[in-house]
Structure 1
Amino acid sequence: MDKAWADKSVPEVLAAPVSALKGVSDRQGDLLKEAFGIKTVADLAELKYVGWAQALAALDAAK
Structure 2
Amino acid sequence: MASVDLEKVLDKAWADRSLPEILAAPVAALKGGSERDGELLREAFGVRTVADLARLKYVRWAQALAALEESGA
| TM-score for both structures, normalised by structure 1 | 0.99
Moved over 3 A (4+): none
* Structure 1 residue 36, shift from structure 2 partner: 0.3
Return the alpha-carbon distance in structure 2 between the equivalents of residues 36 and 42 of structure 1: 13
**Partner letter of residue 12 of structure 1?**
E
Percent of aligned pairs sharing the same letter: 71
Tell me the C-alpha RMSD between the 2 structures. 0.3
1:61 has 2:52 as partner: no
- The gaps in structure 1 that reach 5 residues or longer are none
Q: Which protein has the bigger helix share?
A: 1
Structure 2 unaligned regions, length at least 5: 1-9
Give the structure, 1 or 2, with the largest relative contact order (CA under 8 Å, sep 6 or more).
1
Q: Could you tell me the TM-score, scaled by structure 2's length?
A: 0.85
Question: Of the candidates 18, 33, 46, which is equivalent to residue 24 of structure 1?
Answer: 33
